[in-house]
Structure formats: C-alpha cells, structure tokens
Structure 1
Amino acid sequence: MKTLPLRLVPGQDLRAALADVLAAHGTAAGFVLQGIGSLRGARLRLAGAAQATDVEGDIEILTLAGSLSPDGPHLHMSVADASGRVLGGHVLAGCTIRTTAEILIALLPDHRFARELDAASGFDELVVHSHDC
C-alpha cells in the first residue's frame, strides 16, 4: 500500500477529481481513507433513495471515505450545513470545493478493482482482483 495525501482546490468537483487519481498514478485500486474540507453545495444520494438530494450553501465535509476503481469511485460522505445539520450519503457529481479538501488515499498497486453487477443487490458492486491472476 502506498499512501497519497491530496489537496483539492476551490472550484474542483470532488467526485471527478477522485475519479482521476488512479490513472494519474498508474494503479487500478485504491481507497479514500478520510477527507475533510468545505464545499459550495453538495449532491448526495441518501440510503434507498432514487433521486439526489441537493445541500445548498457553504458546507463542511465531516467525513469522506470510499473505494476507487477504473470503473469509477464509490464514495460516502457526511456534511454539515451552516446551522450544524448533518446529512450523509453517496457522493454524486456536483460537490464543488469551496476552500479546500484534504484527503488521504491508499493506493493498492498489487490489486485491480472493478465494478460488476451483483444479482443479489441489483447494483454494480466491488470485485477485487490480485495482479497475479
């Protein structure tokens, strides 16, 4: 495992920036171990919901974690708005960095992650491959 501290800057889309990390570092598997920072609005998909929830205004990232694969990131995040209300869910495109996002990523050079349809869940789920197979 190789750790990669990363800072995102104002205006970057959180999900898009993390989707680019693996290719930029020549690996095919990784995890976001933790992240903090601030956003200018967020789009989250809450548990069991079919539609996105938009969180308006300036918000703080309290936690950020997930897996990174060439098929795209699977990220969960909790955020707090200006009144301290906390909300969490799946990170969607449209989470724009306000001042900073400080993120720690673990790159796994001996593995390759993929997302494949799982008949039991009905969703594309993580499949872990070792490079030696």
Structure 2
Amino acid sequence: MNTWPLRLTPGCDLRAALAEAVRLQLPTGSAFVLSGIGSLEDARLRLAGAEAATCLAGPVELLTLAGTVSPQGLHLHASVADAQGRVLGGHLLPGNVVRTTAELLLAWSPEWALGCAPDAQTGFTELQIQDRR
C-alpha cells in the first residue's frame, strides 16, 4: 500500500478537488481517504437517514474526513465543528469550500481498483473492489 499526503487550498470544493487530484495523480484513479483535517467556509452534510442536505454556517473546522474515491464517485464521511465547538457529522456533499486548508492522507495500491455500482440488497450505490493482481 502506498500513501499520499495532499493539501487542498482555499477556495476549492473539497469533493471536486479531491476527485480531480486522484484522477490525475494515481494510476488506479481510486484511493481510500485515511484522514483529513482543515477548515471550510460552510459545511454541507447529509445526516444519517436524511434525504436533504444539512448546512452548517461557517467558518467550520473539518475534524475528520474518511472514505473512498473512485472513477465512479466518492463516498466520504466527515465531522465538523462550529465556532461554539458543536460537532456534526455525516456524508460530505458537494459545495464544501476549503477556507484555509484541507490536509488529507490518502492510501492506494496498484493491486486494487475501487469502484461503485448499484447494490440490489441495499438499494444504494456501494463500493466495488477489483483485485488487479
């Protein structure tokens, strides 16, 4: 397994910039996000079981970020804290703009390719793992 530290800069959309960096820099086009910290202008999350986005007015601290990136999409979970220290977590949606920095650690392996496809059992798009050995 290989690791790759990545810093995203102010003004970029966290999801879009992460997807583009993985697409351009990693040979499999996929990675696991092991950790992520930083700050966001505002937070856009989908909470457990919810259909709609929840927006937390910023600035907010990005406390954790973890998940998967594949050519077919991203599945990221995050926790964020507001100025009073209240913490909220859920699925990271598009529209999370980096405020000062987003510092990520990614892991990837040339032996494994990640993807996502509809899963009949769950009704959601789920992780698919391809062994390339």
User: Into which bin does the TM-score normalised by the smaller protein fall?
Assistant: over 0.9
Give structure 1 stretches of 5+ with no counterpart. none
Shift of 1:41: 0.2
**Matches for 1:1-133 after TM superposition, within 5 Å:** 1-25=1-25, 26-132=27-133
* Contact 1:28–1:108 (8 Å) recurs in 2: no
Shift of 1:60: 0.2
- Answer whether contact 2:23 2:30 (CA < 8 A) is retained: no
Residue deviations 1:32-54 (CA, integer Å, cap 9, x gap) = 00010000001100000000011
The alpha-carbon deviation at position 130 of structure 1 amounts to 1.1
Structure 2 gaps of 5+ residues are none
Contact 1:39 1:96 in 2 (8 A): yes
Return the offset for 1:19: 1.1
- Per the TM alignment, residue 80 of structure 1 is displaced from its structure 2 partner at its CA by 0.1
State the SS of the aligned residue for 2:17.
Answer: helix
Aligned partners of 1:108 and 1:74: how far apart in 2?
Answer: 18
Code of the aligned partner of 1:113: L
Measure the CA separation in 1 of the matches of 2:40 and 2:77: 15
Percent identical among aligned pairs is 57
Q: Distance in 1 between matches of 2:123 and 2:82?
A: 32
Deviation, 1:28, is 3.1
**Please, what TM-score do these two structures have when normalized by structure 2?**
0.95
Determine helix, strand or coil for the equivalent of 1:16.
helix
> What is the Cα deviation at residue 73 of structure 1?
1.1
Give the TM-score taking structure 1 as reference length: 0.95
C-alpha distance in 2, partners of 1:109/1:94?
A: 30
Q: Within 2, Cα distance between the matches of 1:105 and 1:113? A: 13
Secondary structure at 1:22 match in 2? helix
AA matched with 1:18: L
Paired residue total: 132
Q: Displacement of 1:85 after TM fit?
A: 0.7
Runs of 4+ in 1 over 2 A off after TM superposition: none
